[in-house]
Amino acid sequence: MKLKRLILIPLLSTILFAFNSQKYINKNYCDQIIINPYYKVCYDYKLMGAKAITYILDGEKVNKINIKKRPSFHTEKSLDRKYRVSPKSYTRSGYDRGHMANDASFDWSMDSLNSTYSMVNIVPQEPKVNRYHWTKVERYARLVARKLGTLSVINIIQYTNSPKRLKKQNIAIPQGFYKILYNKEKNFERCFYYRNDSSSYKEREKLKKHLIECSDIEANPLYP
């Protein structure tokens, strides 16, 4: 798909919504806030996973080097041991280790790339959602960042009040994912939603099918 065509995905509303990442990364929502040079994480101890992850894409760095070799997944040392998720907990679970800050957006240095393989940046994703649908909006974000110079990204992980769990470590399985893309200076804003359920998705589904009103995110309950 051409960059120009992607940029022109229409807004559903002419009124831009004023997003602020601090609304989703704060002590009221998060048991622990994890900050590294590349992204911020709102982590929940009971869910054993992230509730929101935010970062800024630098258009000059995105797709500049594209390191091919991928690191191994690793536990997050900034968490207390009892809240750390092991990469092995996903083995034969039926779910992918789904990146929220995706590796392809940070493969311009080994340090930035390695940071995305921390398990604090990983949540259970249905394989088809992760491999065919979520990757499209990640690619779109990189293209927009290159076009606009920078792009702010908020990933919100939506859970039910009683989420299903992976057997190992009792990791909560998300109900769905919101991705908010915005650049206030360039008057750009797009919001997307993906259910964590691949049963009704088609592999070649168009990106705009997941486009939503940004105001809908504020209207829907996000966290248990």
Please report the pLDDT score of residue 201 as a whole number: 74
Domain span holding position 133: 3-11+22-219
**pTM for the full predicted model:** 0.91
Q: Which residue from 171, 95, 100 is spatially nearest to 134, judged by alpha carbons?
A: 100
Residue 35 maps to a domain: yes
Phi, psi of 131 (to 5 degrees): -90, -25
pLDDT of residue 48 exceeding 80: yes
121-171 pLDDT tens trace: 999 999 999 999 999 999 999 999 999 999 999 999 999 999 999 999 999
Residue 162 maps to a domain: yes
CATH of the domain at 196: 3.40.570.10
Residue 224 maps to a domain: no
Residue 96 maps to a domain: yes
Domain count, the chain: 1
Instruction: Select the more confidently predicted residue: 33 or 221.
Output: 33
Q: How many angstroms separate the CA atoms of 163 and 4, rounded?
A: 39
Alpha helices, H only, the chain: 3-7, 110-115, 127-128, 135-148, 214-219
Residue 16 maps to a domain: no
Tell me what percent of the residues of the chain surpass a pLDDT of 90.
Answer: 76
Q: Which residue from 221, 116, 217, 224 is spatially nearest to 172, judged by alpha carbons?
A: 224
pLDDT of residue 45 exceeding 60: yes
H or E segment and range at residue 179? strand 176-183
End-to-end CA, the chain? 38
